[in-house]
Structure 1
Amino acid sequence: MTLVSSAFLCCTFAFILSHTVISIAIDTLSPYHSIIDGETLVSAGEKFQFGFFSPNNSNNRYLGIWYYSITPQTIVWVANRNYPVNDTSGVVKIGSNGDLILLHHTESVAWSTNIKNMSSKTIVAQLLDSGNLVLRDESDGSKERYLWQSFDHLSDTLLPGMKLGWDLRISLNRHLTSWKSEDDPSPGEFSYGVDIGGLPQVVLRKGSVKQYRSGPWDGVHFGSTTVTPNVAFIPNVTINSEEVYYTYELSDESTLTRSTLSYSGAPQRLVWNSSNLEWLVMYSLPSDRCDNYAQCGPNAICTISDPRICSCLTGYTPKSPQDWEMLIWPGGCIRKNPLNCPADEGFIELDSVKVPDLLQFLINTSMTIEECRAECLKNCSCTAYANIYVTKGGSGCLLWFKDLIDIRKLTEPGNQKLYIRVISKDRGTYSLCILF
């Protein structure tokens, strides 16, 4: 072979390499390369893939992440949810400020990570085997220090290692938002996340209206939400002065499981069935009618095992008896007799319940349950009390005022007890423990 022909082959080989489609061999995008439609990043262990896709019957192009080895394609994260590219002209690259940007045919930015004032020469984007897309500065020597990560900007799916909840240091609220429809990944009307008003609890909303809530964190789990031991995943809750979040990890790396918020508004846990090549639903919320927020209206309790699932609390009567007889419950219940504060009043005990929503309340983390009872009796507007935490025999004090909303009897025995304020003439109508 002559020197000329050898040089020609080398040049040809170099040209081919420079134009090779980014594919399964590459998990990192450098400042000197870009991704066009049809090219992808694939995580090192071939777990996840990052690139352009079109959902179902849509012609729009979105930048997203999906499982590498699962068919049909299962999207777990979408970058440009509100700004689709309407053709295949999209280009992804590291911008001049060091951020990751998506450009379309007009060269205008359709989406970016919004990182500012960084040197683009040392910034790389990498797709990890966790499904996390991260931006790193290679000059700082750390591969675990991120300038930005997709795990902080959830779409409709929670993967192992993702945090559902708050970074209080920077007021970052990580929550799920549904797709608008099966064909449209733009943010829909449903959201699912951790509320931190008072005590943390997990809440599903349609717009701003609550559809479901777990109940507050009681030291063991979120109110009515118990996780049956399983081989798929291990849940974990972290609550401290810096962060409040739920996360989970896989029990077995060979098992694929994810949580998602469907476009119809149902939080679901799914597990991959490798035999039938389909996602199976482990559970879905709300799980029954008593999970629907305020199903029975104010001052009532929902018991799914009862033929008439709604009943008024002791000392209360249906606000509209006619509606109640027709199984129309949203109006709830009102007091039969006014309180005679504080004379001749006490409390009845309800056990294994999801406590009322935290609408008008007070919290004292140091009080005993006896001190909590005395504090409630001092205030004529106090209608119920309970421990905050059920661990170690119970501790802390929760006080509710005025109407009690969204109480349900748990389907499995629990440690949480709720004490409802009553007057003496009402105590004979209830068979549970009376505390006067």
Structure 2
Amino acid sequence: MAAVIKLSRYINALHSINHTATNALLFANGFTLFHLNSSKWYVGIWYKQFPEIFVWVANRESPLENSSGVLTISPDGDLILLNGTRGVVWSSKSSGRVQGSVAQLLESGNLVLQRKDNNTQTYIWQSFDFPSDTLLPGMKMGWNLSAGINRYLTSWKDDTDPSPGDITYRIDNLGMPQFVLRKGSEKIFRTGPWNGIRFSGIRTVSNTVFKPIFIYDNEEYMYEFTDNSFITRLIVTPSGLVRRLALNKGDSSWTTLHSSQNDQCDDYGRCGANGICKISNRQFCECLHGFVPKSQSEWGILDWSIRCVRRIPLNCQRGEGFVKLRSVKLPDLLQFSLNKSMSLKQCESECLKNCYCIAYANSDIRKGGSGCFMWFGDLIDIREFSENNEQDVIYIRMPASEVRQSKKTRLVLILVISSVSGVLILGFLIWCLTQNSRRKRGFETKDEDIDLPMFNLVTITTATENFSVTNIIGEGGFGIVYKRFDIVMGISRGILYLHLDSRLRIIHRDLKTSNILLDSNLNPKISDFGLARIFGEDQTENKTKQVVGT
């Protein structure tokens, strides 16, 4: 049950909260003093839980000087605010004068004026059509042509003064609607035009708190909850920000879900005419392809307000073409044309026919794209987004020489990539064939430089006749491998004796395999001492002066 004001009833500063707020679920309505150091009084709507947060103010342009005001219904059926001398300070100025009307504060926060016996949703007047600085769920923004109402938000002058400030947030309906944030007449932020799915300059953030719905045929914008347990609001701040807030019920605090200017590239026209803002770059402003700074010195000191100009002017001759920019916010609709029935190919052809056309794009990206935007003159407020998106695309017109250079560069790039890919594929095929050939030969090596090959079990089994004792690996004409080891050790012991343990040290100076003799038991005998020499204990070298034999 909503709070009701009838012709015979009224609210004033002393009885406002007790009289009108008891039946309202979420909001309260009445008089309040906005600041302790102020003597101004206002009629407003605020959250019952947060009395310091006002979502709507009636007389923001004409405050009361004291608390003697009265809010009531006039004999003509208007909702009016009277001062202490019963002068009209504010009026709903409803178009239809209906006697016996009543005012109600709905649970949505909408203050409505309707017939006393009216049970429908048709209102004579409603506060939702005249928002202050706050957009609540169910409120609409934009033009309602049938009612002649343009609904937009206006900030407070400052945090303690609800009178209209310099910041406005409204829909500009120039062909395709877009939201524009202004300070006075100067644009400070825009969302980009509506593309059938979203505004081209706004990245959709998935959430379970709210669901935005855009009604383009009536030029309205409204959003609704996907979960009615959440409390949200959208506000325009005196500092020039648009913020969407949600109530955190756990600690009764407000969390910012989204803000209009998330980075410097959201500032309107940050990179000047024919520039593009790339937040991922260190110097995030650069000229569009085919453009250069008009003043390189000023551009070098990060003064990006200096416009970019074409490197080579257009001459409207054959051979001109377009460069494709992906995942961008479309430029502002300053000098443009719109044809909603054209395809993208028709749009390109039409742009080439018009010597003043410098860019084109689809106006609607749904179902593969349709409609035709064409821009004439400078391109303002373009930004690039980090994610790659083939839907948000614009085509910039280039002179024939730039098109040829672009095609040449693209051809060289294709050739280089193709050549490198071909070499890699060929190398991979050769490697596969080599590996396959090695497997067929029965062995495989992991390192081609290794001296000793590695044999698999099948090869060893075949070579040993299934490990037969008659064909043991390591056994040859002189017995098993251990006998050879004994021969070597015998030779070593003999040499060691002659060099160290013999009474007379004898140095054998011609030790070789042919001088090693074996007896019938394969015991080694060292022979041919013809070059031997007897040394004393204290000698390390000597000269041979005579020939000696064995």
TM-score when normalising by structure 1 = 0.89
SS at match of 2:174: coil
1:5 is matched with none
Report the CA distance shift for 1:33/1:45 in structure 2 as closer, same or farther (over 3 A). closer
2:47 is matched with 67
Across the aligned residues of Structure 1 and Structure 2, the Cα RMSD in angstroms comes to 1.8
Does residue 133 of structure 1 match 2:108? no
* Inter-partner Cα distance in structure 2 for 1:366 and 1:115: 40
Aligned partner letter, 1:34: Y
1:279 is matched with 254
Does residue 412 of structure 1 match 2:387? yes
CA deviation after TM superposition for structure 1 residue 429, in Å: 6.0
2:239 is matched with 264
Matches within 5 A, 1:297-312: 297-312=272-287
2:333 is matched with 358
Matches within 5 A, 1:361-400: 361-400=336-375
Higher strand fraction (1 or 2): 1
Aligned partner letter, 1:125: A
Matches within 5 A, 1:70-109: 70-109=49-88
Aligned partner letter, 1:138: K
1:27 is matched with 3
TM-score when normalising by structure 2 = 0.71
CA deviation after TM superposition for structure 1 residue 45, in Å: 4.8
Report the CA distance shift for 1:117/1:268 in structure 2 as closer, same or farther (over 3 A). closer
- Structure 1 residues 128-153: Cα deviation after superposition (integer angstroms, max 9, x where no partner): 001000000124x3341100000000
Report the CA distance shift for 1:31/1:297 in structure 2 as closer, same or farther (over 3 A). same
Matches within 5 A, 1:180-219: 180-219=157-196
SS at match of 1:412: coil
CA deviation after TM superposition for structure 1 residue 239, in Å: 0.8
Contact 2:271–2:277, Cα closer than 8 Å, also in 1? yes
2:452 is matched with none
| Structure index of larger Rg | 2
Report the CA distance shift for 1:411/1:90 in structure 2 as closer, same or farther (over 3 A). farther
CA deviation after TM superposition for structure 1 residue 328, in Å: 0.6
CA deviation after TM superposition for structure 1 residue 432, in Å: 8.0
Aligned partner letter, 1:187: P
Which runs of 5 or more structure 1 residues have no equivalent in the other structure?
A: 1-24
Higher helix fraction (1 or 2): 2
Count of residue pairs the alignment pairs up: 404
CA deviation after TM superposition for structure 1 residue 286, in Å: 1.2
Contact 1:98–1:116, Cα closer than 8 Å, also in 2? no
* Inter-partner Cα distance in structure 2 for 1:169 and 1:351: 39
Contact 2:2–2:107, Cα closer than 8 Å, also in 1? no
2:309 is matched with 334
Aligned partner letter, 1:215: G
Moved more, 164-173 or 325-334: 164-173
* Inter-partner Cα distance in structure 2 for 1:392 and 1:116: 43
Aligned partner letter, 1:31: L
CA deviation after TM superposition for structure 1 residue 319, in Å: 1.2
CA deviation after TM superposition for structure 1 residue 186, in Å: 0.5
SS at match of 2:304: coil
Pairing partner for 2:397 from 394, 408, 421: 421
Aligned partner letter, 1:269: R
Aligned partner letter, 1:229: S
CA deviation after TM superposition for structure 1 residue 226, in Å: 2.6
Contact 1:97–1:117, Cα closer than 8 Å, also in 2? no
